[in-house]
A and B are shown apart, each in its own frame.
Chain A
Amino acid sequence: MPRLHPQLYATAMWIALAIVSGLGGEPGVAPTAEANEVHLAYLDPGSGSFMVQALIAALAGIGVAGRRYWTQIKTWLGLQNRSADDEFDPDDD
């Protein structure tokens, strides 16, 4: 069960942030100068998929930083073991 509590907190954080970030309100993102020059892809990226990335990336930043910190603690304590995926999916190239 060690994973459950961090998961619960993280989920609560996500939901709270999602509400704060205006999921219930208007999208309210004014077209900016850069945005008007936006390059159009040959596939429609989906406006929702495009819009949601700013929110998701911001939250991912918190998650990624936290995870990095946590990994450092675990490595320091000697609890971190390398998984079999590593040759195929290294943490960094």
Chain B
Amino acid sequence: MTDRALGASFRDPGGFVYRNEAELFRQVNESAAEDYRALMDSGLYEALREKELLVAHEEVAPPFEVDAGHFATLRPEAIPFIAYPYEWSFSQLKDAALLTLRLQRLALRHDMSLKDASAYNVQFLRGRPTMIDTLSFERYREGEPWVAYRQFCQHFLAPLALMARRDIRLNALLRSHIDGVPLDLAWSLLPVRRWLDRGLVAHLYLHARYQKRFEAQAGESGTEAPSARPLSRSALENMIEDLRQIIRRLSWKPSGTEWADYTSGDSYDEPSLAEKKEVVRDFIHAIGPTKVFDLGANTGTYSRIAAQTSECVVAFDVDPACVERNYLEVRSHRGEDEAGVLPLLLDLTNPSPSLGFAHTERESLVERGPADVVLALALIHHIAISNNVPLPRIAAFFASLAPELVIEFVPKEDPKVATLLATRADIFPDYTREGFEAAFAASYEIVETKPLSSSERVLYRMKRRA
């Protein structure tokens, strides 16, 4: 049975996740039966569901004949799009960290504990972080330290501290280190004033020192593995509360003129902005998508328009400030159309690859598709001109993501493109409206064309060729 398990589902012997006809199932093995029953019978599951902190599931008959180790089959609520911590903005990672600590606090009240604290166990559902791994809860053993403490520090505390105190771009370390940022590395990258923060001194510096010391010891032959001092429940609760206070204090505010500019939106004056919104709304309405990829979403103006009629709109942008702003906006309007918007960080010139063992633990962007439609508004010039990507290649990439496309062509006469070309040679003779249409014709047929009245820009609705 386990050969059905998804690529990321192999570490925990307590169960695994698999897909059957697009539906997701989780098998609970005999070995995890008691912990699973404790989750369901202790009142913890209900408490977490009431607060919407854990994904809902129902116990179902397994879709296949099961082997001897099978205890139960769960069908969890579907997550429209799986996102990874290296695609989150600062506040998304921070909220996921606070969720993890809150889960552990609530678990302890029900005599249970989190056995892992992986950031990959958190997904954004209806605009808020949600725990998706039902089998991460085990019965609490009095006196035992928190087994997931190291993982929590590596997946959450270390990257958050680096992003807040050193550079927001250090979230990239989560992409290179699949089990979180090593604590000694995080400590060495933090600025000197790290010594003034007792929380970081304790949970990163002391923690890393201890790790190094005991690792060295474990290697010596003949020495017995050292045993941990028992940790009382109240001491453990204090440690969780301490971590919570430290995480809450970490903050990041995008600064500088760039940030201020985002409020004014893109290069449209008001009437033509309204016109563009109208055209995008009509195009989306004509397509009627369930899932939308908004590429180069900025702070999500058009993602919100799409979200009025679509269940899930993933709003990708390369700028951490845009994604942060978009997420905070989504979070404060929870329950409205906006809740379907999932802001994520993505560099289209280097999108998230397949990662982990055998390249199958974390899926690439394309593997997590397809969407029903790609929105590419005020984007093409950034890829074609700033990054020299030939137009036919851009068309082929978009076509690999969704069968429908809503795209805006921004010509050379546009002030935005003129700025890009001001400091370099114009090596783009084919970057014209005709050249654009010819390049995209290989992958798409044009369904509708709408030139915008007060600029040279044109909006297209296209359909992928069979």
> Which residues of chain A have a CB within 8 Å of any CB of chain B?
4, 7-8, 10-11, 13-15, 18, 23, 27, 29, 31-32, 34-36, 38-39, 41-43, 45-61, 63-64, 67, 83-85, 88-89, 93
Whether the Cβ atoms of A27 and B226 lie closer than 8 Å is yes
Known contacts A13-B198, A51-B229, A88-B128; is-contact A45 B213 (Cβ 8 Å)? no
Whether the Cβ atoms of B213 and A27 lie closer than 8 Å is yes
Q: Mark B111-137, 1 if CB is under 8 A from A, else 0.
A: 000011000000000001100000000
Among B11, B153, B217, max chain A CB count under 10 A is at: B217
Answer whether residue B144 sits at the interface, using C-beta atoms and an 8 A cutoff: yes
Whether the Cβ atoms of A60 and B147 lie closer than 8 Å is no
Whether the Cβ atoms of A52 and B210 lie closer than 8 Å is yes
Smallest CB separation, A42 vs chain B (Å) = 6
Whether the Cβ atoms of A88 and B228 lie closer than 8 Å is no
Whether the Cβ atoms of B211 and A88 lie closer than 8 Å is no
Answer whether residue B196 sits at the interface, using C-beta atoms and an 8 A cutoff: yes
CB < 8 Å: which of B95, B201, B225 contacts A14? B201
Give me the 9 closest cross-chain CB pairs, A-B, nearest first.
A60-B242, A48-B211, A35-B227, A49-B150, A48-B210, A57-B235, A54-B229, A52-B210, A48-B214
Whether the Cβ atoms of B242 and A34 lie closer than 8 Å is no
Answer whether residue B149 sits at the interface, using C-beta atoms and an 8 A cutoff: yes
Separation of A31 and B244 alpha carbons in the complex (Å): 31
Q: List residues 363-394 of chain B with CB under 8 A from any CB of chain A.
A: none
Separation of A59 and B210 alpha carbons in the complex (Å): 16
Smallest CB separation, B338 vs chain A (Å) = 16
Smallest CB separation, A64 vs chain B (Å) = 5
Contacting residues, chain A, for B245 (C-beta < 8 A): 63-64, 67
In this complex, how many residues of chain B approach chain A with their Cβ under 8 Å: the count is 66
Smallest CB separation, B237 vs chain A (Å) = 9
Answer whether residue B141 sits at the interface, using C-beta atoms and an 8 A cutoff: yes
Contacting residues, chain B, for A55 (C-beta < 8 A): 206
Separation of A14 and B195 alpha carbons in the complex (Å): 10
Answer whether residue B203 sits at the interface, using C-beta atoms and an 8 A cutoff: yes
Q: List 20 A-B contacts (CB under 8 A).
A: A23-B206, A27-B226, A32-B230, A43-B11, A43-B116, A45-B145, A45-B147, A46-B215, A49-B211, A50-B147, A51-B214, A51-B226, A52-B207, A54-B145, A56-B207, A85-B248, A88-B98, A88-B99, A93-B47, A93-B105
Smallest CB separation, A86 vs chain B (Å) = 10
Separation of A39 and B239 alpha carbons in the complex (Å): 21
Answer whether residue B218 sits at the interface, using C-beta atoms and an 8 A cutoff: yes
Grouping DSSP codes into helix (H, G, I), strand (E, B) and loop, the A interface class, with mixed when no group exceeds half, is helix
Known contacts A43-B151, A67-B245; is-contact A29 B239 (Cβ 8 Å)? no
Smallest CB separation, B113 vs chain A (Å) = 10
Whether the Cβ atoms of B202 and A32 lie closer than 8 Å is no
Whether the Cβ atoms of A11 and B201 lie closer than 8 Å is yes
Q: Mark B205-247, 1 if CB is under 8 A from A, else 0.
A: 0110111111101100000111111110011101101101100
Whether the Cβ atoms of B228 and A50 lie closer than 8 Å is yes
Contacting residues, chain A, for B212 (C-beta < 8 A): 48
Contacting residues, chain B, for A63 (C-beta < 8 A): 198, 238, 242, 245
Q: List residues 308-350 of chain B with CB under 8 A from any CB of chain A.
A: 331-332
Contacting residues, chain B, for A8 (C-beta < 8 A): 196
Among B141, B201, B206, max chain A CB count under 10 A is at: B206
Contacting residues, chain B, for A61 (C-beta < 8 A): 234-235, 238
Separation of A67 and B242 alpha carbons in the complex (Å): 10
Separation of A34 and B212 alpha carbons in the complex (Å): 25
Whether the Cβ atoms of B239 and A53 lie closer than 8 Å is yes
Whether the Cβ atoms of B241 and A31 lie closer than 8 Å is no
Answer whether residue B417 sits at the interface, using C-beta atoms and an 8 A cutoff: no
Whether the Cβ atoms of B202 and A93 lie closer than 8 Å is no
Separation of A91 and B213 alpha carbons in the complex (Å): 35
Given contacts A48-B215, A61-B234, 4 further A-B contacts (CB under 8 A): A8-B196, A11-B196, A35-B228, A63-B242
Whether the Cβ atoms of B239 and A45 lie closer than 8 Å is no
Answer whether residue B159 sits at the interface, using C-beta atoms and an 8 A cutoff: no
Answer whether residue B278 sits at the interface, using C-beta atoms and an 8 A cutoff: no
Smallest CB separation, B242 vs chain A (Å) = 3
- Taking CB as reference atom, which chain B residue is nearest A37? B141
Q: List residues 157-213 of chain B with CB under 8 A from any CB of chain A.
A: 195-198, 201-203, 206-207, 209-213
Known contacts A27-B213, A58-B235, A89-B248; is-contact A47 B226 (Cβ 8 Å)? yes
- Taking CB as reference atom, which chain B residue is nearest A90? B102
CB < 8 Å: which of B145, B213, B217, B331 contacts A50? B145
Contacting residues, chain B, for A58 (C-beta < 8 A): 235
Smallest CB separation, A10 vs chain B (Å) = 4
Whether the Cβ atoms of B238 and A53 lie closer than 8 Å is no
Separation of A90 and B95 alpha carbons in the complex (Å): 12
Whether the Cβ atoms of B238 and A10 lie closer than 8 Å is no
